[in-house]
Amino acid sequence: MGVLRSDELKDDPKLEGCATKPSAHLLIGTPPGPHILKIQLALERLRPSGPKISDTEKSAMSYGPTTAAAVFNYKSTHVPPIINTSYQSSPDKIVGQMTIRAMDDDLMGTPLPSRDDVANRALRESRDALSAALRHLRSLRDDINALPASSDPAFGKAMVDLLTKHKRNIAVVAQRLVPK
């Protein structure tokens, strides 16, 4: 039996190693694997409003920049912050012995979210994303309606200004409308 006790982290040799040996710490560049995905899922559970870990990193089970940002957020917002004061003055982006043990302890004290909680969170995030898209589309519509007539000499500059202002949103909408 290892030192980790939470259902999410225990019985994983790489995570047990991380909890006991400095040479097994996890950081950007650590070889990918299921142990990294366990850390990512634990971070999402412990800090659901923290920085989002990219789907690409999760599907590759890799420790990349978004995982590192989530680790930093967890260590910075933990009470007390997770800092090895023997050589650090602020949190880093590494999952080491102190971090994995703190995560394990925190996971032991937090119940798993129910299916309803997960579904409600997904619904809320989906509605928020749709609301944001609708705001952008309405702004684009209003700006298009405010354009001068195409025969007006000011039309060209107004159109360039509109395209510059909405360049990103137009690209996103165009990408979404093209079937894959």
Find where tokens 């996103």 sit. 172
- Contact, 73 vs 51, CB < 8 A? yes
Domain boundaries, the chain: 13-109, 115-177
* Torsion angle of the four alpha carbons 62, 67, 71, 72, in this order, in degrees rounded to the nearest 10: 130
For the chain, the helix, strand and coil percentages under 3-state DSSP, each to the nearest 5: 60, 0, 40
**CA 39 to chain centroid:** 13
Q: Closest Cα partner for 45 from 121, 155, 140?
A: 121
**pLDDT-based confidence at 112, cuts 50/70/90?**
low
Share of the chain above pLDDT 90, in %: 67
User: What tens digit of pLDDT does each residue of 59-93 get?
Assistant: 999 999 999 999 999 999 998 999 998 889 999 99
Which residues, 6 or more positions from 61, have their beta carbon under 8 angstroms from its beta carbon? 32, 33, 34, 36, 37, 40
CA distance 95 to 18: 8
Q: Tell me the three state secondary structure of residue 26.
A: strand
